[in-house]
Amino acid sequence: GKPGCAILHSVPTQKDDQAMSRPGNYAVTISSLPLQIFVYCSGCYLPFFFVVEALMFVYKGTVLPYSTSTLAAEIILLVLYAGVEGCRLFIGAKGNLTQ
């Protein structure tokens, strides 16, 4: 890979005690720096997206002729989306750093 695109960590493997005592018996863990940057930026973007979408639903509900049940369903979907996206970002960051 390109220099600066991966963070290398030397982590001892846990095969057996004799293997641990020999020098140089390490597994290499590689974390993707571009993926970590993307996850971080997505985490900063998510709250702004959620607020703008919520304000748009307020506008749609007050100004436009919009069914109440449809508006409620869309708001529920927005909240579910925010929850799933938050979990996705958390798992992506945690998985990238522990890969």
For 52-79, what is the mean pLDDT?
Answer: 90
Q: Is the pTM of this model over 0.95?
A: no
Q: Are 12 and 20 in contact (CB under 8 A)?
A: yes
- Please check the confidence at residue 8 and state whether its pLDDT lies above 80: no
- Report the C-alpha gap between 82 and 77 in whole angstroms: 9
- Report the C-alpha gap between 14 and 26 in whole angstroms: 9
Q: Convert the pLDDT of each residue in 39-50 to its tens digit.
A: 999 999 999 999
